[in-house]
A and B are shown apart, each in its own frame.
Chain A
């Protein structure tokens, strides 16, 4: 049901955006289709492999461990654990989100997963070292990371309260 509603909303958005492109930049429409097709072909194998891995990992993750450290009773400490794991997770979005999905299946709270995903977004080490520091400089990167420090925990707490 959830998937159906999401699908309808996204298609409504996609049709709106496509009609705008057709109206204002008709000549770009072909490029939009081409890039979309390339993106789709790029992600399809990653999506399938990621979902299958998420299913297996969820079976393997020790449920007791997940529920103890990331479940309902884990509280603040659980968010901290999740945030540290998120910051340390290497690799592309499919890796981090697949791990998040298996953690939910194994009993992690949505607040913990929010902290995990947020920390992963902010602290992707590879991206920081290979792009951010060379292109924007050490000071910029230091300031951004320092000020972002409390964000994963705060968002985890808020998400915990809301969901």
Chain B
């Protein structure tokens, strides 16, 4: 099988990490000055403890996100999202966007490929929206690490229909435009 679009090996130190270091130094320094060293250390230790408690979840999330990309047959799934595929096609496009791992370069080229093989703008938007709103990678690895589990669950469940609804709205408007001409 073709390897799913995994991100290439990333640099361990990049602009994001440096930005984060700067934010940490500024906010930590401000806390030290405003509230004194005691509050600084207590906040630091509490959050380090929290990070340690999160680690098992984070490791599980990484494994799940990476393995998921290998479990699903990508070609077969993409074929289901082709032209005239109705609501099911929109749902498949959304799921493909949400589940296949990889950064923007991978997802946008998959989307371009999907549309080149005949899918409409609505399916493309459903796919990109599935990725931006529900990316399994981002949700499992980052969102679950920082935000409460029940928040993430509710957000994901509420968001699930959104890419499909966006696709349906775009198809509806396209039909009206054709009818008007």
Contact = CB atoms under 8 A, between A and B. Distances in A.
Q: Say whether A associates with B.
A: yes
Interface of A: 2-3, 5-7, 10-11, 13-14, 17-18, 20-21, 24-25, 28, 31-32, 35-36, 38-57, 59-60, 91-95, 97-98, 100-101, 104, 110, 113-114, 117-118, 121-122, 124, 127, 130-132, 135-136, 139-140, 143-144, 147-148, 151, 155, 158-159, 162-163
Interface in B106-151: 108-109, 111-112, 121, 124-125, 128-129, 132-133, 138, 140-151
Contacts of B68: 17
Interface residues of B, number: 79
Contacts of B31: 56, 59-60
B61 interface: yes
Contacts of A13: 60, 64
A3 B60 CA distance: 12
B70 A147 contact: no
A51 B54 CA distance: 10
17 contacts: A7-B56, A14-B60, A31-B3, A51-B51, A51-B54, A51-B145, A53-B28, A57-B23, A59-B35, A94-B146, A113-B151, A140-B125, A143-B125, A147-B125, A147-B166, A155-B155, A162-B158
B142 A53 contact: no
Given A10-B60, A47-B145, A36 B12 contact: no
Contact of A21 (B10, B59, B71, B124): B71
A158 B157 CA distance: 11
B27 A57 contact: yes
B121 A54 contact: no
B25 to A, nearest CB: 9
